[in-house]
Amino acid sequence: MDIDHPWILRRVSERDRRDWIEMTYIARTADSPLAAMKAMSHMKELLDAYLEAAVGEARERGATWSDIAEALGRSRQAVHKQYGGQSAGANRGGERRP
């Protein structure tokens, strides 16, 4: 994942981006499986921030909830329930915004 992409820089905190880099390094290089698992667990949490950023960016670019659901391999309802309140300006019905 390109963490320097402009829309990621706007939407994901600098701290989360730094943590992602650190955790990926630890997960790849740790001698202890427990240390690697701890890093991977934190990465899983951070991935939620990246997904939230991607969903918000997709909505701003006109993606519908159905488009996003297909990309994530989930139902439109599940995706809207998880991310629906987080993208400002989203309209009702999952239609593309003008």
Residue type, 77: Q
pTM score, two decimals?
A: 0.74
Please tell me the distance from the alpha carbon of residue 14 to that of residue 5, in angstroms, as a whole number. Answer: 13
Furthest-apart CA atoms within the chain: distance in Å: 52
User: According to the model, what pLDDT value does residue 89 have?
Assistant: 41
Please tell me the distance from the alpha carbon of residue 64 to that of residue 10, in angstroms, as a whole number. Answer: 21
pLDDT in tens, 57-89: 999 999 999 999 999 999 999 999 999 865 444
Cα dihedral 38→39→45→50 (10° resolution): -170
